[in-house]
């Protein structure tokens, strides 16, 4: 496994629509393993392939319990109930915004072997799934954000994150 370089806003690759995965080979397995390692290294909750410069429909999400790999994912169900909260992106370093998304979502996807499965997520997991799936169509959360956090709110958030990190 190896860490991959995370591309940041301004790189046109982040605005492109990714192609479906058709080959479930060793190369895909390596990409997924590298994405998981890169996500953990950057303390991220999720990562999409275009963020490491690969225009394929692949996403990884750390649900807090396990690392989920979503190949060719589609949303098959989402709750009418919404959640509003803080969102950030490894490709938009140092910034956070307020985004409203469905509270629960069901995603249908393939794993690295091509096996289809469904995964239901709520709260932060639903938010991460939807955020990462948007990346596959060239969209970044800042397009959806009601507003970005002020520098005071950002300081408060970073302080809280640092405290949580210390508590681990």
Residue 87 annotated in active site: no
Contact string (CB under 5 A) for Ni ion, positions 139-158, x = contact:
--------------------
Q: Which spans in the chain are helix H?
A: 26-41, 124-136, 151-167
Per rule CB under 5 A, is residue 89 in the interface with Ni ion? yes
Contact string (CB under 5 A) for Ni ion, positions 30-69, x = contact:
----------------------------------------
24/92 with CB nearer Ni ion:
92
Q: What is the 3-state secondary structure (H, E, C) of 83-125?
A: EEEEEECCCCCCCEEEEEEECEEEEEEECCCCCEEEEEEECHH
Strand partners, 56: 19
As measured in angstroms, the least distance from the Cβ of 23 to Ni ion is: 25
Q: What tokens does 78 get?
A: 């989402």
Cα distance between residue 156 and residue 128, in whole Å: 22
As measured in angstroms, the least distance from the Cβ of 131 to Ni ion is: 5
In sequence order, the 6+-apart residues with CB closer than 8 A to the CB of 97 are 86, 87, 88, 141, 142, 145, 146, 147, 148, 149
- Label residue 37 exposed, middle or buried (CB < 10 Å: 0-12, 13-18, 19+): middle
Number of residues counted as binding Ni ion (CB under 5 A): 1
As measured in angstroms, the least distance from the Cβ of 59 to Ni ion is: 10
3/116 with CB nearer Ni ion:
3
Site for Ni ion in 105-124 (CB under 5 A): none
Stretch that binds Ni ion, among 2-10, 54-62, 85-93, 142-150 (CB under 5 A): 85-93
Exactly one of 103, 122, 132, 163 is catalytic; name it: 132
Active site residues: 132
Give me the residues that bind Ni ion (CB under 5 A), please.
Answer: 89
């Amino acid at each position: 496994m190896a860490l991959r370089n995370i591309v940041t806003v301004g790189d046109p690759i982040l605005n492109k629509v990714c192609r479906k995965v058709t080959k479930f080979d060793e190369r895909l397995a390596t990409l997924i393993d590298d994405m998981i390692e890169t996500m953990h290294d950057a303390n991220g909750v999720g990562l999409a392939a275009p963020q490491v410069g690969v225009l394929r429909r692949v996403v990884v999400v750390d649900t807090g319990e396990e690392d989920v790999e979503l190949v060719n994912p589609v949303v098959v169900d989402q709750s009418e109930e919404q959640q509003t909260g803080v969102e950030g992106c490894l490709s938009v370093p140092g910034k956070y915004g307020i985004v409203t998304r469905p509270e629960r979502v069901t995603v249908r996807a393939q794993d690295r072997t091509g096996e289809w499965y469904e995964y239901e997520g709520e709260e932060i997991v639903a938010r991460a799934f939807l955020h990462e799936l948007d990346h596959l169509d060239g969209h970044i959360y800042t397009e959806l954000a009601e507003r970005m956090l002020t520098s005071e709110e950002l300081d408060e958030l970073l302080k809280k994150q640092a405290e949580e990190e210390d508590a681990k």
